[in-house]
Amino acid sequence: MSNCRACNTEVQPFMSFGQMPIANGFLKETEFSDEYFFEMEVAFCSACNTFQLINQPDPERMFHENYAFFTRTSRAMVAHFAIFADWLKGSYLTGENPFAVELGSNDGAMLENLAKAGIRHLGVEPSANVAAEAEKHDVKSLVAFFGSKTAQDILDEHGPADTISAANVMCHIPAMNDIGHAADILLKETGVLIFEDPYLGDVIEKTSYDQIYDEHVFLFSAHSVSSIFGPHGFELIDLLPQKTHGGSMRYVLGRKGQHVISSSVREILNKEQALGLTDAATFDRFRENCERSRTMLVSILKDLKSKGKRVVGYGATSKSTTVLNYCDIGPELIEFISDTTPIKQGKLSPGKHIPVLAYEDFKAKYPDYAVLFAWNHEVEIMANEQGFMDAGGQWVVFVPEPAIR
């Protein structure tokens, strides 16, 4: 028996993805014997409509000084955050000497834009190595996990915030109620809490189960966000769907009664009901769709192997850890995974131990097929990989369903 992480109602898992390693836990052979696994079960709480992991490894296992994710590895994400910063500035940082706080500010890709505009800001980032990178871009960072204690410290030192924003961060934080409390402590009366994360609606529609991994303890919908933050005095004032991470939602919350509510809030809440995001039966169908997707992907890869084709992976994403371990795909089917992040190169993928090599290895000798693990960057990748396709290379995709393209 488990209790909902958001509202404490009893919840039952509707699915297990089996034993999973740390999604970003790229490792060396000498570390195999210490590799950590946990059972990745997921539940949907019918009381507050929140999709969640039952078990999550300790944060220290996932976010540490060797954390392997840097926002700046994607040009499209850097561009996205420049637009985000402009929007934030124009919409919510218009008062006198505004103060913007960002949670999980990573290498400063978003805050750098505010720093350049001379706006008071503070990034709160638990991984020291990425925060050090942010400092190089004149972004002020506090190396810490965010919560009510940190919020009080920031308030004491800097005063109240106009905005607390977070991109691809909130869904990582298990203590959501403490975040609601912390936002209440730190925000001005008219301040706003803004976050965007992979959207449950897209995951259900596209069977993109690879968004589920250790770090993503929640997959939010407008219904769940409203349930989680309502008791802390906040209401949704705007919702803005985003293309990032294969389909995300930007949630804007303000204190009840302080803001005009955009019509998109009602529209999206209605759409969610039509999509079944408030109905437990939807998640049983989702489980069946995941099982079907797994069978199809393994069958494609085995078929290519039997025909003697060279298959590699493109992008050693966190998401790929779920796909590879859930589908039980290892180096016997995928020769290596190409990735541009230096810290991942020369290591092996979590759990299935597929070698991760530099992008140059992909380019030096194109394979016959590349599995598009970084499918959320498809537009950027297709623009870069005309050479691979001209050489006869083809893509293996698995979202919205496994296919060769």
End-to-end CA distance of the chain: 43
Q: Which residues bind ligand TYD (CB under 6 A)?
A: 69, 73-74, 315-319, 339-341, 359, 374, 376-377, 380-381, 384
Residue 223 or 319: which CB sits closer to ligand TYD? 319
Q: How far is the CB of 339 from ligand TYD (least distance, A)?
A: 4
- Least distance (Å) from ligand TYD to the CB of residue 129? 15
Going by DSSP bridges, is the β-strand pair 356-358/248-255 parallel, antiparallel, or unpaired? Answer: unpaired
In this complex, which beta carbon is closest to ligand TYD, that of residue 155 or of residue 358?
358
Is-contact 100 126, C-beta < 8 A? no
CB of 348 to ligand TYD, least distance (A): 14
User: CB 373 → ligand TYD: shortest distance, Å?
Assistant: 7
- CB 92, CB 114: distance < 8 Å: no
Rounded CA separation 284/280 (Å)? 7
- 39 CB-side CA count, 13 A: 6
CB neighbours of residue 311 within 10 Å = 20
Nearer to ligand TYD, 74 or 227 (CB): 74
CB of residue 341 vs ligand TYD: minimum separation in angstroms? 4
Cβ closest to ligand TYD, residue 57 vs residue 98: 57
Beta pairing class for 50-53 and 37-45: antiparallel
Of 105 and 227, the one with the shorter C-beta distance to ligand TYD is 105
Distance CA 181, CA 177 (A): 6
Beta strand residue intervals within 55-131, DSSP E: 99-103, 120-124
Placement of tokens 């084709």 in the chain: 309
Contacts of 371 (CB under 8 A, 6+ apart): 301, 311, 312, 313, 314, 334, 395, 396, 397, 398
In the complex, least distance from residue 140 CB atom to ligand TYD, rounded to whole angstroms: 24
Nearest to ligand TYD of 113, 341 (CB atom): 341
- Comparing CB distances to ligand TYD, the nearer of 71 and 221 is 71
Tell me the closest approach of the beta carbon of residue 333 to ligand TYD, in angstroms: 19
- CA nearest to 246, candidates 323, 338, 131, 158: 323
